[in-house]
């Protein structure tokens, strides 16, 4: 038993030493957050629009199939359940519309992160008394905007 422990312990230690790093931090810049936000918002709008189109199409197929179903029940006397395709298309569209909500939320969160800190260069003015009068002097300034 002691021999097994002595043999297994170096293997466990070696396995932990040479593994991949699982927790890493990725520092994204302002442009990265803005780009990520725009891509997420575009994907969310595509999912919402496509899902709405699928839901309406599935609803139309389902309603049409239900009318056909009533016709076949009364004429032939058996139930063929042909409106299942309309249900599948409708629920797929509904799932796509619901799936767009987390993308809208993530897009807004990334936009807030990008707007949290911004720096820019601007020209400021200050009033100076010169020769019995006031004059405006310009000076360059770097501005740092932080939303807390």
Those residues whose C-beta lies under 8 Å from the C-beta of residue 34, and which sit 6 or more positions away, are 110, 111, 114
Q: What is the pLDDT of residues 99-133, one digit of tens each?
A: 999 999 999 998 888 777 667 777 888 888 777 78
* pTM exceeding the 0.75 threshold for the entire prediction: no
CA distances from 136 to 19, 123, 139 (A): 64, 12, 10
When comparing pLDDT for 78 and 55, which is higher?
Answer: 55
How far is it, in rounded angstroms, from Cα 12 to Cα 108?
44
Q: What is the pLDDT of residues 17-40, one digit of tens each?
A: 555 555 555 566 778 888 999 999
């Amino acid at each position: 038993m002691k021999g097994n422990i002595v043999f297994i312990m170096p293997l466990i230690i070696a396995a932990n030493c040479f593994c991949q790093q699982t927790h890493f931090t990725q520092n994204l810049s302002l442009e990265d957050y803005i780009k990520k936000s725009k891509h997420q918002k575009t994907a969310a709008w595509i999912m919402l629009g496509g899902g709405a189109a699928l839901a309406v199409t599935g609803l139309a197929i389902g309603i049409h199939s239900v009318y056909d179903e009533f016709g076949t029940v009364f004429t032939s006397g058996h139930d063929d359940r042909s409106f299942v395709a309309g249900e599948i298309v409708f629920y797929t569209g509904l799932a796509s519309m619901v799936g767009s909500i987390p993308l809208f939320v993530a897009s807004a969160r990334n936009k807030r992160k990008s707007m949290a800190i911004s720096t820019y260069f601007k020209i400021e003015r200050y009033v100076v008394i010169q020769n019995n009068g006031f004059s405006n002097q310009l000076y360059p300034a770097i501005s740092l905007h932080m939303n807390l």
